[in-house]
Structure 1
Amino acid sequence: MIGVVGAGAFGTALAITLAARSEVRLWARSDAAVARMQTHRDAPRLPGVTLPETVQPTSSLADLRGATLLVLAVPMQSLGALLPLIAPLSPGATVAACKGIDLATLTGPTTVIGAHLPEVPAAVLSGPSFAKDIAGGLPTALALGCADDGVGASLQAALSTPTLRLYRTTDTMGVELGGALKNVIAIACGAAMGAGLGESARAALMTRGMAEMMRLATCLGARAETLMGLSGLGDLALTCASPASRNYALGQAIGAGTPRPAATTEGVATATAALALARKHGLDLPVTAATVALVAGDLTVENAMADLLARDLTTEDAR
């Protein structure tokens, strides 16, 4: 049995695709949401999607006890508070399906998991994916980061389905930071497009944003090639060009001066955490710093772009 903790859009989508090969128990906080899923077999966060009979919704974490693995699909900033409740379940392994940097510790999900469940193998799943595509059985490829390659191979086999293909790596730091930092750049790109600055400006932000992602990630021990893969370049390409991305949609609203979406946007906290890490290590991340200021309302899109364009001229390979 596989347990999925978190019945948001992504957690539900993973539960649906994994149900093709295993019994899945899907945990949600809300008793009302669970009752609806049990009765109507629909997904509140994925309209039009039917839950397979092999997905069992529950609001009791105890129902996940003894799972061969737990997929943790909760917001990054909620993960630390949830883990003490998960520890008694004795899972065989955990796979984080959250993208971000914990504000309290400035670390990624596998480090946070390790602090609470030190004896349980931890991996991280990330890459270019929208929940509706996964739930709809559309072909998707993701990166699976696990420090122990033997454990990673077992998890890769357990989580791959006919429509979900996983590529594994031992570079957990790279997978974590690729998935987290691209959300920051997606906000910046959305803001540029919302303000009408054009496709060329967005392409420039994506490219220079990728340079910042590489700069911070490699400083923290990630491998550059991981950032050039699915969790990094692949995810950046998807989320910087589609309003279906919550981070891009937030940026677009900021740029256009329209009301901000109410949905949780992981890139907001990640931008703050990434900037704190950059300052700690003496790194220059101008796009990230501008994004933090934009989200806080301390800077307009036009002024942010003017500041970026006025920076000292340098070579493209300058880090």
Structure 2
Amino acid sequence: MKIAVLGAGAWGTALAMQISQRHQVALWARNAEHVSGMRKARSNPLYLGDFRFNDHLSIESELEAALQDADLILSVVPTAGFRNILKEINALGSQLPVIWANKGLEPETAKLPHEVALEELGNGRHWGALSGPSFAAELVRGLPTAITLAANDEVFARDAGALLHGGNFRVYTSTDVAGVSVGGALKNVMAIASGISDGMEFGNNARAALITRGLAEMTRFGVALGGQKETFMGLAGSGDLILTCTGQYSRNREVGIRLASGQSLSDILQSLGHVAEGVNTTREVIRRAEQLGVDMPITYEVDQVLSHGKSPRTAVENLLSREQKSEAV
């Protein structure tokens, strides 16, 4: 079995290394210099340190070469480039099933990855989303990790999940692609809010409240888009949310912490060196929520900080001063 992993950032590389313990893997990156460096080092020092690749993992700079003789495509390119990579796959005449592990909403269209996949791949082809509480730095060290694979076909979800499942990597399956996609996107927005709260030293009580109300906000948005409420109680919902809002490796939480300290967003993003999907996602969620008529108070305040110059302290104060309401709303 051969799996083509597209995108050699930290998460793409970690997944490629994990899967290569049981299958042949071609790890593709667009940047030829990056590919050359990985081939020479047999690792990805740019994004994942000196963890060594095994002999089952090859590195490719040509997409056609990566897809040759593959049985499955796992796309881990940023959401902003997801549509383009699907178009490139189609242009090569490939009909391989596609699973993606990117999270967020497409810039300008505010569409989730599964909506992009439906437009570019159609519903007659197998595709799905891989999401859940998972830091690359822990997976690559062999630490226990459990995630969800949601697909447009139950049998495909089970079979593809079985290919990825094994060792320290547990894969649960679902057919709620919409719910899993929303969970993966919105947890990054909530992590920025959590980081702001932590950066301002508002304490554990405030963080717990943000996570809990953030979950309610995610669920409202997801159900409005056809997701199942139960999904948000699982790994791709509350599990990923808790990890991203509290974990030391969370880039989106780090964005919030630095914003609270007074750093500018441009300086923060330049120094991170990795994509923080929540920054772009926040603006698109606001756009989509307005279309759906869904109340998103935490997302709104995060957007005000990121895009409209509101101070982090004022944003938190606005959330605290909202009128009393039932928790069930």
Structure 2 residue aligned with 1:110: 114
**1:228-267 paired onto structure 2 within 5 Å:** 228-258=233-263, 259-262=267-270, 263-267=274-278
Structure 1 residue aligned with 2:94: 90
Q: Does 1:169 align with 2:174?
A: yes
* CA deviations over 1:68-101 (Å, ceiling 9, x no partner): 1100001111111222111125142100110111
Q: Distance in 2 between matches of 1:282 and 1:261?
A: 31
Structure 2 residue aligned with 1:33: 34
Q: Cα offset for 1:260? A: 1.1
Q: Cα offset for 1:52? A: 0.9
**1:12-51 paired onto structure 2 within 5 Å:** 12-44=13-45, 45-51=47-53
Structure 2 residue aligned with 1:60: 62
Q: Distance in 2 between matches of 1:295 and 1:197?
A: 20
Given residue 201 of structure 2, which amino acid in structure 1 is its aligned partner?
G
Maintained 8 Å contact 2:109/2:284: no
Q: Distance in 2 between matches of 1:186 and 1:317?
A: 22
Q: Does 1:101 align with 2:105?
A: yes
Unaligned runs of 5+ in 1: none
Maintained 8 Å contact 1:65/1:91: no
Q: Cα offset for 1:279? A: 0.8
Q: Cα offset for 1:217? A: 0.6
Which deviates the most, 149-158 or 259-268? 259-268
Maintained 8 Å contact 1:108/1:177: yes
The Cα RMSD (Å) is 1.3
**1:77-226 paired onto structure 2 within 5 Å:** 77-87=80-90, 88=92, 90-118=94-122, 119-226=124-231
Q: Distance in 2 between matches of 1:160 and 1:28?
A: 24
Q: Distance in 2 between matches of 1:269 and 1:309?
A: 25
Q: 1:96 to 1:227 in 2, by over 3 A?
A: same
Q: Cα offset for 1:54? A: 0.8
Given residue 42 of structure 2, which amino acid in structure 1 is its aligned partner?
R
TM-score by length of 1: 0.96
Given residue 62 of structure 1, which amino acid in structure 2 is its aligned partner?
E
Q: Distance in 2 between matches of 1:194 and 1:297?
A: 20
Q: Distance in 2 between matches of 1:84 and 1:278?
A: 28
Q: Distance in 1 between matches of 2:160 and 2:279?
A: 30
Given residue 245 of structure 1, which amino acid in structure 2 is its aligned partner?
S
Q: Cα offset for 1:67? A: 1.5
Q: Cα offset for 1:114? A: 2.5
* CA deviations over 1:91-119 (Å, ceiling 9, x no partner): 42100110111133322212212222224
Q: Cα offset for 1:270? A: 1.3
Q: Distance in 1 between matches of 2:290 and 2:307?
A: 18
Structure 1 residue aligned with 2:283: 272
Given residue 270 of structure 1, which amino acid in structure 2 is its aligned partner?
T
TM-score by length of 2: 0.93
Q: Distance in 2 between matches of 1:65 and 1:113?
A: 21
Given residue 5 of structure 1, which amino acid in structure 2 is its aligned partner?
L
Q: Does 1:294 align with 2:305?
A: yes
Q: Distance in 1 between matches of 2:293 and 2:88?
A: 37
> What count of residue pairs does the alignment treat as equivalent?
318
Q: Distance in 2 between matches of 1:39 and 1:12?
A: 15
Q: Percent of pairs identical after alignment? A: 37
Q: Distance in 1 between matches of 2:107 and 2:39?
A: 35
Which deviates the most, 89-98 or 55-64? 89-98
Q: 1:133 to 1:91 in 2, by over 3 A?
A: farther
